[in-house]
Chain A
Amino acid sequence: MSLPLLPVWIADLLGSALMCCFALLAMQVATRLRRTDPNNVVWTYLLWLCYALTAFALSRSVGHIARRLLLSLGCQDLWRSLQPVSGAVNSLLFVVVASFTLFFERVWRIYQEILADKRALQTAHGELLYLNRHLERLVEDRTRELSVSERKYHRIFETSQDLIMVTAADGLILDLNNAGTRMLGVSSTAQAVRKLRFKDFLANETEWDELAARLMRDGAISNAELRLQGLDGRSFPALTSAKAEQPEPGAASAGIHFLIKDISKRQVMEKQLLLADKLSSIGQLAAGVAHEVNNPLGMILGYTQLLIRAENSGTQRYDDLRTIEKHTRTCKAIVERLLNFARSTQTLREPGDIHQLIDEVLNLLKHSLEMDQIVLEKDYDARVPLLPLDKGKMRQVFMNLLVNARQAIGKQGMIRLATHFDADRKEVMVQVQDSGCGIQPEHLNRIFDPFFTTKATGDGTGLGLSVSYGIVQDHKGQILVTSAPEKGTTFTVILPILTLETDQPS
């Protein structure tokens, strides 16, 4: 069997021509591709691969075509001498193409790394460009933000109602806010402040050593109660927190930041709360006792009156029964006042003129004051508005205060009644000042206690001020007292301006 070789030769010749043609075309495209980005290592690699493939295609195709031509022309000898050279070159170019091809993975990896570096450089470049173009604006923005921040913290420092202070490690004051200068009674100039030490303001100077030791050990102290004394001589309890600053690298020592709160008012309030609690307990106890005692007293009084009715007047027995009746009535009066004190009757407030109310009480006492040659001074503030008052109860308050003032003066003296309207604090103050004997300092804390009295037996029950205290508290107010022995006493009733609907300060 046989097969003609002509189709093989035709395929050989045409294929060789096509190989040459497309190899050259591929090389041309690869050249153009590289020109799009000469730095692209993949394109360079493809170009070199195309060079190798073109060389291979040309070598092989030229060899094949030459073979056909030489054999057709009968130049077998010439071909026989060229054939080994052509074959060797072909083999060599196979190896070259294969070697180039194997470098693809390495080239690709290098390309990716270059690409990543390029991206990073482009990002950095873009960022630098942005900063160059906008640096001025960015700095301005940042400066503005810092300025706002600085103002905010400075405002907190300046407007704080508590003392804020920065000292050196040895306690030398470096900075002190306005509240601090007020509290310590020092001049607010920076120069004056910076000569002082915190130690100088401690009522007990030895406390500084303990304070410094704690700061050194723990780095901070929290809510330590100290007694401070200002340059003006005012002594007050203070709640002190402090934090030792971490020293900057290279700095010799760190500063200390103090935050100090004046707690004198809080302590007064705590005492008042304690008093209110005590009054409440005593009131409950007294109410129980009074209720039990009231009925037997009624029986004693009733039977005593029956016996008086059956006895002729003028006899010794009649006088004795009258004495029993009198003292039983006194007992009943005490018990009733005690019950009034203990009963929490509802306070009914309606708008009332405080001046008119005080005058009504004065009218009742006018005669007895004149009898004792006591001068009455009135200093009413015309701006005082109408106040929501339980008139009956408030009359009782001023009656108690004025009777106490009259009893403290005895004969010849002065009682001054003054009112004042504080529009800022929305309060009305009523002062009852007398020139009497005053109250001993040791009694001052007890004068609002029930049954506490310094009067002679029978002159006072010790319930007047307790009852008054309760009434003023029902009106959301305060009753304060200042007194100096032999110089007189001043009671101050402070009433807030409340709205009737909410009972809240308006």
Chain B
Amino acid sequence: MRKTTRFGPFFLGTSLLALMIPGTAAATQVHVPSEGLYIHQIAHLFFALSMAILLYWLRQRQLVRERGWRLIQLAALFFIIWNVDAFLVHILDDRSDLFRTIDAGTWHASIEFERKVELLALFYYLGKMDHLLCAPGMILLYFGLRNLLHEAQRHPESHGITATGDEHLPPSPAPDRSLSCSDQG
């Protein structure tokens, strides 16, 4: 026998009670400034994750046997490191208790810190030079694409891609160039 629960009267009663006792309306969520930083940080992590997945597929499909794809794989690796670096530096940017920027906005600006956080400060200082990671990534991407272009121009029939790793695909049928005849004597 099917057991049924009747929630209708309960919801109706609750709704009527809420209308009779009105309070502060909270229909639209208010965004705080830190929300932007969180989104930015999450975007960095998403960027890094997608590059890691690309790297995995390039290796899994054995495309990295070719120079062009291998360079693109290295570009993906640099972008991953860059994203992690940027993520950590953004966290340290907010730590005014550890680092202080003197003469900010001028050409002789500097970072001041206590000796006890010397190593962290050094990482922060180097980490701020994140273009040392993302620019090589872009350069490697360029060279990778250029290599693929050369290969495609050299072997047009292979479409510049020879390594597939897709054994699951159906093989193309072998040509049979004879007329079939079932009543051959």
The residues of A with any CB-CB pair to B shorter than 8 Å are: 1-9, 11-12, 14-16, 18-19, 22-23, 25-26, 29-30, 32-33, 36-37, 40, 42-43, 46, 50, 53, 57, 71-72, 74, 76, 84, 87-88, 90-92, 94-95, 97-99, 101-102, 104-105, 108-109, 111-113, 115-116, 119-120, 123-124, 126-127, 130-131, 134, 138-139, 142, 145-146, 149-150, 152-153
Contacts and interface: CB of A to CB of B under 8 A. Distances in A.
Contacts of B118: 1
B132 A11 contact: yes
Nearest to B102: A2
Contacts of A33: 145, 148-149, 152, 160
14 contacts: A5-B109, A18-B139, A25-B142, A46-B148, A50-B145, A90-B43, A91-B39, A98-B43, A112-B166, A112-B169, A115-B159, A120-B173, A123-B173, A123-B174
B105 interface: yes
Interface of B: 36, 39-40, 43-44, 46-47, 49-51, 53-54, 57, 61, 101-102, 104-115, 118, 121-122, 125, 128-132, 134-135, 138-139, 141-142, 145-146, 148-149, 152-153, 156, 159-161, 164, 166, 169-170, 172-179, 181, 184-185
Contact of A22 (B141, B176, B181): B141
B103 to A, nearest CB: 9
Contacts of A42: 159, 161
A26 B177 contact: no
A14 B138 CA distance: 14
Contacts of A57: 138
A19 B135 contact: yes
B172 A116 contact: yes
Contacts of A26: 138, 141-142, 145
Contacts of A22: 135, 138-139, 141-142
A33 B161 CA distance: 12
A97 B47 contact: yes
B121 A3 contact: yes
B65 to A, nearest CB: 15
B172 A36 contact: no
A15 B137 CA distance: 11
Contacts of B131: 11-12, 14-16, 18-19
A43 B110 CA distance: 46
Contacts of B181: 142, 146
Given A1-B112, A2-B111, A36-B152, A101 B50 contact: yes
Closest 7 CB pairs of A and B: A15-B131, A149-B185, A98-B50, A94-B43, A71-B105, A101-B50, A119-B172
A46 B145 contact: yes
A6 B105 CA distance: 10
A239 B142 CA distance: 90
Contact of B175 (A9, A37, A111, A126): A126
A99 B50 contact: yes
Contacts of B40: 87, 90-91, 94
B148 A108 contact: no
Contact of B36 (A5, A30, A84, A111): A84
Contacts of A113: 169
A326 B57 CA distance: 125
Contacts of B104: 71
B185 to A, nearest CB: 3
A145 B54 CA distance: 59
B113 A2 contact: yes
A169 B31 CA distance: 98
B23 to A, nearest CB: 33
A3 B141 contact: no
Given A30-B145, A97-B50, A104-B57, A40 B159 contact: yes
A6 B110 CA distance: 8
Most buried by B among A2, A32, A127: A2
Nearest to A119: B172
B43 A91 contact: yes
Given A4-B108, A33-B148, A101 B184 contact: no
Given A16-B131, A97-B50, 19 more contacts: A4-B110, A11-B131, A15-B130, A18-B139, A22-B135, A22-B139, A22-B142, A25-B142, A33-B160, A36-B152, A43-B152, A95-B43, A99-B50, A102-B54, A104-B53, A105-B53, A108-B57, A109-B166, A130-B177
Nearest to B39: A91
B183 to A, nearest CB: 8
B80 to A, nearest CB: 11
B46 A95 contact: yes
A95 B166 CA distance: 29
Nearest to B172: A119
B138 A123 contact: no
A37 B157 CA distance: 10
A347 to B, nearest CB: 51
Given A19-B134, A97-B50, A1 B57 contact: no
A127 B101 contact: no
B101 A87 contact: no
A18 B50 CA distance: 23
B68 to A, nearest CB: 10
